[in-house]
Amino acid sequence: MNLVVQTESEKRMKMQPVKGTRDFYPPQMAVRNFIVDGWKASSIRNGFVEYDGPIFEYLQMYQVKSGDEIVEQLFNFTDRGNRHLAIRPEITPTLARMINKQINALPMPIKWFSVPRLCRAERPQKGRLREFFQWNIDIIGIEDVLADAEVICCSLDYLRNTGLTSKDVVAKISSRRLLAALLKNIGIAEEKLESLYPILDKKTKIPVEAFVEMLEKEIDSPETIQAILKLMDIHSVNDIPDIVKLDEKAQESLDELKRVFAYLEKMGAEDWCRFDMSIVRGLAYYTGMVFEIHDKSGDLRAICGGGRYDNLLSDFGGPKVTATGMGMGDAVLEILLREKGLLTDDSLDIQKLDYFVACVDGDLFDEAVEITTKIRQKGYAANFSYKTNALKKQMKIADSMNAAKCIIVGGELKESGQLVIKDMATGEQILVDATTFLE
Amino acid sequence: MNLVVQTESEKRMKMQPVKGTRDFYPPQMAVRNFIVDGWKASSIRNGFVEYDGPIFEYLQMYQVKSGDEIVEQLFNFTDRGNRHLAIRPEITPTLARMINKQINALPMPIKWFSVPRLCRAERPQKGRLREFFQWNIDIIGIEDVLADAEVICCSLDYLRNTGLTSKDVVAKISSRRLLAALLKNIGIAEEKLESLYPILDKKTKIPVEAFVEMLEKEIDSPETIQAILKLMDIHSVNDIPDIVKLDEKAQESLDELKRVFAYLEKMGAEDWCRFDMSIVRGLAYYTGMVFEIHDKSGDLRAICGGGRYDNLLSDFGGPKVTATGMGMGDAVLEILLREKGLLTDDSLDIQKLDYFVACVDGDLFDEAVEITTKIRQKGYAANFSYKTNALKKQMKIADSMNAAKCIIVGGELKESGQLVIKDMATGEQILVDATTFLE
Which residues, in sequence order, are CB contacts of B255 under 8 Å at separation 6+? none
Q: Which residues does chain A have within 8 Å of residue B11's beta carbon, measured at their own beta carbons?
A: 60, 317
CA atoms within 13 A on the CB side of A24: 23
> Where do the DSSP E strands lie in B222-302?
273-275, 289-295
Q: Which residues does chain B have within 8 Å of residue A374's beta carbon, measured at their own beta carbons?
A: 268
Strands A382-384 and A323-329: unpaired
Looking at the complex, report in whole angstroms how far the Cα of residue B348 sits from the nearest Cα belonging to chain A.
Answer: 13
Which residues, in sequence order, are CB contacts of A362 under 8 Å at separation 6+? A388
The angle subtended at Cα A33 by Cα A31 and Cα A34, nearest 5°, is 60
Per the model's pLDDT, the better-predicted residue between A387 and B14 turns out to be A387
* C-alpha distances out from residue B41 to A417, B35, B137, B271, Å: 31, 10, 12, 23
In the structure, what pLDDT confidence band is assigned to residue A8 with cuts at 50, 70 and 90? low
- pLDDT at B66 > cutoff 80: no
- pLDDT at B77 > cutoff 80: yes
Per the model's pLDDT, the better-predicted residue between A218 and A326 turns out to be A326
Measured between alpha carbons, how far is B253 from B256 in angstroms, rounded to an integer? 5
Which residues, in sequence order, are CB contacts of A430 under 8 Å at separation 6+? A420, A421
- Selecting from B30, B56, B373 the residue whose C-beta is nearest the C-beta of A268 gives B373
- pLDDT at B64 > cutoff 70: yes
Measured between alpha carbons, how far is B118 from B56 in angstroms, rounded to an integer? 10
Helix, coil or strand: residue B404: strand
Please state, as a whole number, how many other Cβ atoms lie within 10 Å of the Cβ of residue B70: 18
Query: What are the percentages of helix, strand and coil residues in chain B, rounded to 5?
Result: 45, 20, 35
Measured between alpha carbons, how far is B124 from B20 in angstroms, rounded to an integer? 5
- Selecting from A57, A101, A267 the residue whose C-beta is nearest the C-beta of B373 gives A267
Looking at the complex, report in whole angstroms how far the Cα of residue B209 sits from the nearest Cα belonging to chain A.
Answer: 32
- pLDDT at A131 > cutoff 50: yes
Helix, coil or strand: residue A90: coil
What per-residue confidence (pLDDT) applies to A1?
A: 33
Window 300-319 of B, Cβ < 8 Å to A: 316-317
What per-residue confidence (pLDDT) applies to A2?
A: 36
Measured between alpha carbons, how far is B18 from B28 in angstroms, rounded to an integer? 17
> Where do the DSSP E strands lie in A43-104?
49-50, 56-58, 76-78, 84-87
What per-residue confidence (pLDDT) applies to A284?
A: 73
Phi-psi region of B119 (alpha: psi -120 to 50; beta: other; left: phi over 0): beta
The angle subtended at Cα A114 by Cα A17 and Cα B393, nearest 5°, is 175
Window 243-282 of A, Cβ < 8 Å to B: 263, 266-268
Tell me the whole-structure pTM to 2 decimals: 0.94
| Backbone Cα Rg of chain B | 29
Least confident residue range of A132-146, A216-230, A253-267, A367-381: A216-230
- Percent of chain A at pLDDT > 70 equals 96
CB-based contact, A69 to chain B, within 8 Å: no
- pLDDT at A4 > cutoff 60: no
Helix, coil or strand: residue A20: coil
What per-residue confidence (pLDDT) applies to B281?
A: 87
Per the model's pLDDT, the better-predicted residue between A242 and A421 turns out to be A421
Exposed / middle / buried, residue B82 (Cβ in 10 Å: 0-12, 13-18, 19+): exposed
- pLDDT at B406 > cutoff 50: yes
Chain A residue with minimal CA distance to B153? A373
Q: Which residues does chain A have within 8 Å of residue B386's beta carbon, measured at their own beta carbons?
A: 109, 142, 144, 146-147
The angle subtended at Cα A257 by Cα A160 and Cα A164, nearest 5°, is 10
In the structure, what pLDDT confidence band is assigned to residue B432 with cuts at 50, 70 and 90? very high
Helix, coil or strand: residue B313: helix
What per-residue confidence (pLDDT) applies to B241?
A: 87
Measured between alpha carbons, how far is B254 from B227 in angstroms, rounded to an integer? 18
Q: What are phi and psi of B302, to 5 degrees?
A: -60, 140
User: Hey, what domains does chain B have and what are their CATH numbers?
Assistant: 23-53+88-339 (3.30.930.10), 353-438 (3.40.50.800)
Helix, coil or strand: residue B272: helix
- Helix runs in B50-192, H state only: 63-66, 92-101, 146-162, 176-185
- pLDDT at A67 > cutoff 70: no
* CB–CB contact B317 A26 (8 Å): no
Q: Which residues does chain B have within 8 Å of residue A350's beta carbon, measured at their own beta carbons?
A: 49
- pLDDT at B67 > cutoff 70: no
Which residues, in sequence order, are CB contacts of A434 under 8 Å at separation 6+? A371, A413, A417, A418, A419
Mean pLDDT of B260-267: 96
CB-based contact, A195 to chain B, within 8 Å: no
- pLDDT at A371 > cutoff 70: yes
Strands B110-114 and B49-50: parallel
- pLDDT at B205 > cutoff 90: no
Per the model's pLDDT, the better-predicted residue between A67 and A143 turns out to be A143
Strands A418-423 and A429-433: antiparallel
CB-based contact, B6 to chain A, within 8 Å: no
Q: Do residues A269 and A152 touch, judged by C-beta distance below 8 A?
A: yes
* Tens digit of each residue's pLDDT (9 = 90 or more) over B280-321: 887 778 999 999 999 999 889 999 999 999 998 998 989 999
Chain A residue with minimal CA distance to B97? A15
| Backbone Cα Rg of chain A | 29
Give the torsion sign (CA, A390, A396, A400, A402). Answer: positive
- pLDDT at B6 > cutoff 80: no
CB-based contact, A18 to chain B, within 8 Å: yes
What per-residue confidence (pLDDT) applies to A395?
A: 95
What per-residue confidence (pLDDT) applies to A10?
A: 47
Chain A residue with minimal CA distance to B7? A317
- Percent of chain A at pLDDT > 90 equals 75
The residue of B10, B19, B23 whose CB has the most chain A CBs within 10 angstroms, and thus the best one to mutate to test that interface, is: B23
Give the torsion sign (CA, B245, B248, B249, B251). Answer: positive
Q: Which residues does chain B have within 8 Å of residue A108's beta carbon, measured at their own beta carbons?
A: none
Looking at the complex, report in whole angstroms how far the Cα of residue B41 sits from the nearest Cα belonging to chain A.
Answer: 9
* CB–CB contact B75 A85 (8 Å): yes
Closest CA to B302 of B271, B277, B269, B333: B333
In the structure, what pLDDT confidence band is assigned to residue B11 with cuts at 50, 70 and 90? low
Least confident residue range of A33-37, A119-123, B63-67, B384-388: B63-67
* CB–CB contact B370 A107 (8 Å): no
Measured between alpha carbons, how far is B102 from B107 in angstroms, rounded to an integer? 10
* Tens digit of each residue's pLDDT (9 = 90 or more) over B108-144: 999 999 999 999 998 888 888 999 999 999 999 999 9
What per-residue confidence (pLDDT) applies to B388?
A: 85
Q: Which residues pair with B114 in a beta bridge?
A: B136
Q: Do residues B169 and B159 touch, judged by C-beta distance below 8 A?
A: yes
Q: Which residues does chain B have within 8 Å of residue A401's beta carbon, measured at their own beta carbons?
A: 47
What per-residue confidence (pLDDT) applies to B302?
A: 94
Q: What are phi and psi of B140, to 5 degrees?
A: -115, 130
**Amino acid present at A30:** A
> Where do the DSSP E strands lie in A22-176?
49-50, 56-58, 76-78, 84-87, 110-114, 117-119, 131-140, 169-175
What per-residue confidence (pLDDT) applies to B124?
A: 87
The residue of B33, B60, B77 whose CB has the most chain A CBs within 10 angstroms, and thus the best one to mutate to test that interface, is: B77
What per-residue confidence (pLDDT) applies to B327?
A: 97
What per-residue confidence (pLDDT) applies to B397?
A: 95
Looking at the complex, report in whole angstroms how far the Cα of residue A356 sits from the nearest Cα belonging to chain B.
Answer: 9
Q: Do residues B362 and B166 touch, judged by C-beta distance below 8 A?
A: no
Q: Which residues does chain A have within 8 Å of residue B15's beta carbon, measured at their own beta carbons?
A: 58, 61, 97, 100-101, 316-317
* CB–CB contact A380 B87 (8 Å): no
Chain B residue with minimal CA distance to A153? B373
- pLDDT at A5 > cutoff 50: no
- Interface size, chain A vs chain B, as Cβ–Cβ contacts under 8 Å: 226
CB-based contact, A379 to chain B, within 8 Å: yes
Angle, helices A208-218 vs A193-200, to 10°: value is 170
* C-alpha distances out from residue B137 to A139, B134, B152, B249, B289, Å: 38, 10, 10, 29, 15
Q: Do residues A312 and A188 touch, judged by C-beta distance below 8 A?
A: no
- pLDDT at A9 > cutoff 80: no
Q: Which residues does chain A have within 8 Å of residue B111's beta carbon, measured at their own beta carbons?
A: 383
* CB–CB contact A381 B26 (8 Å): no
Looking at the complex, report in whole angstroms how far the Cα of residue A112 sits from the nearest Cα belonging to chain B.
Answer: 8
- Percent of chain B at pLDDT > 70 equals 96
Measured between alpha carbons, how far is A7 from B43 in angstroms, rounded to an integer? 39
- Selecting from A111, A263, A317 the residue whose C-beta is nearest the C-beta of B8 gives A317
CB-based contact, B58 to chain A, within 8 Å: yes
What per-residue confidence (pLDDT) applies to A11?
A: 55
Looking at the complex, report in whole angstroms how far the Cα of residue A353 sits from the nearest Cα belonging to chain B.
Answer: 7
Length in residues, chain B: 439
* Whether residue B198 has a cis bond before it, omega within 30° of 0: no
Helix, coil or strand: residue A318: coil
Per the model's pLDDT, the better-predicted residue between B198 and B40 turns out to be B40
Mean pLDDT of B346-365: 94
